[in-house]
Amino acid sequence: MSGKRVLTEPEIETVFRRLSEAMPGRTVTAKGPKDQPDPFRSVVSCILSAQSRDANTRKAVDQLFALGRTPDQILALPEDEIAAAIKPCGLYNMKTKSLKKLCAVLIEEHDRKVPQTREGLMDLPGVGRKCADIVMSFTFDADVIAVDTHVHRVCNRIGLTDAKTADQTARQIEENAPEWAMRDGHFWLIQFGKAVCVSRKPKCGTCPVNDLCLFYSATAAA
């Protein structure tokens, strides 16, 4: 914590309650990382999505899975072939090495099964907190709030958290959010971040939580 005020527990509860009423939340069409059908491909897709636009990630994912769809098949591929397939998503040399290590660890230590806990997922090569939480939420149906760029921005603007990094935000929001909001909280926050609390010109005038938002109160007083 940097010392900046964070909303009180009742205020945080109110923020989530209002977002739950204003945003669609988890819909029947909400699917996991690049809509992958199994945990292994979900993890791989999540790794490839790091610092990559969705369209580029989708292209890289499709090209890679055209070559192999299991840990054994991808591990058997030459590195240059993997790198060429995933080149659209950027950082392809580093991601190729992570994928090779991931497949080897899954085969040697996990009987080719993807762990279902955050700790187990984060022990896998190339998997950080955000990727682990996304896989837990979408693939294993766990009640977690995964923190991406939008969620990180929204949480720290409003005052739900006071964190400098996405991982710190994830830890704080897990502590601060009411238990009932953990299932759909990721969806409300990301939808809110895309529609209202946008990066460059947030629509504070029409925001359903502007009377509670620390950013809005600070800018209004300036």
Query: Can you give the pLDDT at residue 94?
Result: 96
Average pLDDT for residues 44-53, to the nearest whole number? 92
Query: Can you give the pLDDT at residue 153?
Result: 96
> Rounded to whole angstroms, how far apart are CA atoms 182 and 174?
8
User: What's the pTM value of the predicted model, to 2 decimals?
Assistant: 0.86
> Rounded to whole angstroms, how far apart are CA atoms 70 and 76?
10
The pLDDT-based confidence of 1 (bands split at 50, 70, 90) is very low
Element containing residue 185 per DSSP (H, E): helix 185-195
Query: Can you give the pLDDT at residue 162?
Result: 96
What is 37-91 written as a DSSP string?
SSHHHHHHHHHHTTT--HHHHHHHHHHHHTT--SHHHHHTS-HHHHHHHHGGGS-
Average pLDDT for residues 105-124, to the nearest whole number? 97
Active site residue ranges: 130, 148
Residue 157 pLDDT exceeds 90: yes
> Rounded to whole angstroms, how far apart are CA atoms 162 and 73?
43
Chain mean pLDDT for the chain? 92
Average pLDDT for residues 164-170, to the nearest whole number? 95
The answer to whether 208 and 188 are in contact (CB under 8 A) is: no
Question: What domains does the chain contain, in order, with CATH numbers?
Answer: 9-28+145-221 (1.10.1670.10), 33-138 (1.10.340.30)
Taking each helix axis from N to C terminus, what angle separates 39-48 and 54-65, rounded to the nearest 10 degrees? Answer: 130
Residue 37 pLDDT exceeds 90: no
Q: Where are the beta strands (DSSP E) in the chain?
A: none
- Is the Cα torsion angle 65, 66, 70, 72 positive or negative in sign? negative
Residue 2 pLDDT exceeds 50: no
24, 25, 22, 42: which is closest to 33 by C-alpha? 42
3-class state of residue 142 by DSSP: coil
